[in-house]
Structure 1
Amino acid sequence: MLVFRVDANDSISAGHVRRCLAIANTWRSKGGECFFVSADDGASPFIESEGFPLEVLESDWTDLESELPAVRRLLRPYSGSVFLVDSYQITSRYVRELANMASVGYLGTKRLVSPELRLLANYSLNIDDDFYCRSYGKKCRLLLGPAYAPLRQGFFQVPKGVRRHVRSILLTTGNADAEGVTGAIIDSLLPTLLQERIRLRVVIGPLNASKRQLRKRYSNCEQVELLENVTNMAVLMRECDIAVSACGTTLYELAACGVPTVGFSMVPEQDANGETDKLKELGVIEYAARAYDGIATCAAAVRNKVESLVHDAVRREALSKSFHELIDGLGCERICDEISRLEAMR
């Protein structure tokens, strides 16, 4: 049995639960069984729509150690299970307390030192190999680098050619937007959209606090299309000429589709471990700014980057090619193969 521990709320990007679901679907396609565990029901719309069981702990998502008794009860019937944690709140004690009941794995970028961990997946571009080699012995399977990026089915395809004229831009800010970043970016792009006759398609996350205001403000704007309850993200990505996206898992999906992208950071976690710096260094995205340091500044930077790309098809072509070369789309397969080996050892 494969058990996922993951949350989604107005503080945690939906990318966490989506990447777990990508692994879960691959695991299920191989005949494996799995279920999910969350602190609250914030992740339930995502998980239940994919047909997976969910156990809600009614616990504090910021304190994983407080849920240990409940998790032990859940794991007790599943001897030899693999417990995969996707939470920045994971601690060494949390792993240690569960290690005698399951093979515990971690999916994420936190610099966790836990000798009891049996699998660690970090698909970042900026990996500190020395840290992982020092911190973990042969008992822990280290799955490091973008080869292990867990993409949902349908994302990895040969990128379409870059059109000479930009006609469609995709904007996504993730699951939640408590500070109103989405509206600020739309406002900043409107003059360009009108002048260049470009349509902006905006994906509104289920926990976006500004939903009503966005509908009221832009529902009659011909240049802006608001999209909710999106189930065809891969199609939307392949249809756009430029994407504007918060950094995180979505960037890897855009890379797989070969979409020229302007990235920005919604929260500090997206800048953890120098990931955005590495993306800038490699030149695979146009990085705008950190929204959490100033929304207006970020929105203006996004506008400048987008305007530049709109008038530079050669740059868009280069971004599309270099971004796509980062990802081969087999991350879920590789992760599931390692989980199978781990499961067989118990």
Structure 2
Amino acid sequence: MKVLVYANGSSSMGIGHIMRTLAISRELKKRNALITYITDKSDESSINLIKSYGFRVVQIDSILKFLSENNVKKYDVGIVDSYDIEENSILKFYNICKKVVYIDDLMKFKNYNIDILINTSIEALNKNYIGKSKKLLGPKYAILRDEFKDLEYKKLNSKVKNILITLGGGDIDNITKEIIDILLVNYKNMKLNIVLGNSYKYKEFMLENYKYDNVNFYMNVKNMKDLMIENDIAISAGGNTLYELCVCGISTFAVIIADNQKQFVKEIHKKTGMFFIDLTKDSFKSLKNTFSNDLDKFLKNFTLRNQISKEMSKLVDGLGCEKIVGEIIELFK
């Protein structure tokens, strides 16, 4: 099977589209698929990341121009993960692909008439997608790396000793610092493990000013699963990392720092009871007391944390990529 993947990544737009297509591509590679990436807006770092997994990368000036100039179906499947593609544009991938798979977040098309539509967000289960596409929706199809497969549920410690903090590169107001300050004052005996993303702009400041024995910073983490399961709880931004924490059964306090995280986090809260704070309208300073009180309740109530952990682990099984690839293969039967 020959597979074309269209996705872009850069320091300004992030690498989320690249990372989730890589997870699917690696699963396809196990089934002997030949993968080619086409990119028109990626920086050198993102291109090198794709190549590091052994995939061929073709750089072009414009995907729409490329599609209009090519009319031979060279590929069995095209996988498209891009916010820049419009409803009329997605159908142009049929110029070069026999089947088309589209990964969606925004639900901006009126009709979805490709072969497979994927939206792994939990709120996708409440959306009314129109069109003939086979619809793979919700956390059942969560796109996670191989390291999150086949994990055994880990029983929680009754007392919290290790806390993971991971707010990502989108933490433009340095909420990471605010949370660390609260923890250092009120929970001096706890070990803090903080993940600093590549695009996090306060990295040098944090490394220079938080040299404490119980504060550890992690960058370029190769196996996030191993780091996650070493911790008793997590304080995390409201992105796809929450699905990774679900698989690991790590009871989590979510921090909503972007509008596109709000509904996602609230839906997970409904299913699991997960704690969260919404910073899209109010500053952390104005909600500091609320956060501190909720965090104290969260840390001290083992029964509550245990219940949240179990519900989170039920939500995602880590086998989403296998299910997606299975559906792609079914297209040719």
Band the TM-score falls in, shorter-chain normalisation: 0.7 to 0.9
Counterpart in 2 of 1:167?
161
CA distance in 1, matches of 2:73, 2:216: 46
CA distance in 2, matches of 1:117, 1:128: 19
Counterpart in 1 of 2:57?
54
Matched, 1:95 2:90: yes
CA distance in 2, matches of 1:165, 1:314: 11
User: How far apart are residue 27 of structure 1 and its match?
Assistant: 1.0
CA distance in 2, matches of 1:205, 1:173: 8
Counterpart in 1 of 2:100?
104
Q: 1:127 to 1:311 in 2, by over 3 A?
A: same
Question: In the alignment, is the contact (CA less than 8 A) between 2:73 and 2:94 conserved in 1?
Answer: no
Question: In the alignment, is the contact (CA less than 8 A) between 1:166 and 1:198 conserved in 2?
Answer: yes
- Return the letter of the residue paired with 2:159: H
CA distance in 1, matches of 2:181, 2:245: 23
Matched, 1:150 2:143: yes
User: How far apart are residue 293 of structure 1 and its match?
Assistant: 4.5
Q: Structure 1, residues 277-306: CA drift from partner, whole Å, max 9, x if none?
A: 212222342112235742434665544433
Matched ranges for 1:169-318 at <5 A: 169-194=163-188, 197-218=189-210, 220-271=211-262, 274-291=263-280, 293-297=282-286, 301-318=290-307
User: How far apart are residue 258 of structure 1 and its match?
Assistant: 0.3
Question: In the alignment, is the contact (CA less than 8 A) between 1:159 and 1:238 conserved in 2?
Answer: no
Counterpart in 2 of 1:18?
19
CA distance in 2, matches of 1:205, 1:71: 34
Q: 1:245 to 1:7 in 2, by over 3 A?
A: farther
- Return the letter of the residue paired with 1:252: Y
Q: 1:256 to 1:128 in 2, by over 3 A?
A: closer
Counterpart in 1 of 2:6?
5
Counterpart in 1 of 2:128?
131
User: How far apart are residue 191 of structure 1 and its match?
Assistant: 1.4
Question: In the alignment, is the contact (CA less than 8 A) between 1:6 and 1:16 conserved in 2?
Answer: yes
Q: State how many pairs are aligned.
A: 327
Considering Cα pairs closer than 8 Å and 6+ residues apart, tell me whether 1 or 2 has the greater RCO: 1
For residue 37 of structure 2, give the secondary structure of its aligned residue in structure 1. Answer: strand
CA distance in 1, matches of 2:288, 2:101: 38
Question: In the alignment, is the contact (CA less than 8 A) between 1:35 and 1:54 conserved in 2?
Answer: yes
Counterpart in 1 of 2:79?
84
Question: In the alignment, is the contact (CA less than 8 A) between 2:269 and 2:275 conserved in 1?
Answer: yes
| TM-score, length-scaled by structure 2 | 0.88
For residue 186 of structure 1, give the secondary structure of its aligned residue in structure 2. Answer: helix
Matched, 1:68 2:81: no
Q: 1:136 to 1:176 in 2, by over 3 A?
A: same
Matched, 1:121 2:118: yes
Q: 1:45 to 1:200 in 2, by over 3 A?
A: farther
Unmatched segments (≥5 aa) in structure 1: 59-65
Counterpart in 1 of 2:29?
28
Question: In the alignment, is the contact (CA less than 8 A) between 1:40 and 1:57 conserved in 2?
Answer: no
Q: 1:309 to 1:29 in 2, by over 3 A?
A: same
CA distance in 2, matches of 1:178, 1:328: 31
For residue 104 of structure 1, give the secondary structure of its aligned residue in structure 2. Answer: strand
- Return the letter of the residue paired with 2:42: D
Question: In the alignment, is the contact (CA less than 8 A) between 1:13 and 1:176 conserved in 2?
Answer: no
CA distance in 2, matches of 1:109, 1:52: 25
> Identity rate of aligned residues, in percent?
28
Matched, 1:330 2:325: no
Q: 1:72 to 1:226 in 2, by over 3 A?
A: farther
Q: 1:44 to 1:198 in 2, by over 3 A?
A: farther
For residue 160 of structure 1, give the secondary structure of its aligned residue in structure 2. Answer: coil
Q: 1:55 to 1:185 in 2, by over 3 A?
A: farther
Question: In the alignment, is the contact (CA less than 8 A) between 1:176 and 1:209 conserved in 2?
Answer: no
For residue 296 of structure 1, give the secondary structure of its aligned residue in structure 2. Answer: helix
Which is worse superposed, 28-37 or 182-191?
Answer: 182-191
Counterpart in 1 of 2:329?
340
User: How far apart are residue 116 of structure 1 and its match?
Assistant: 3.8
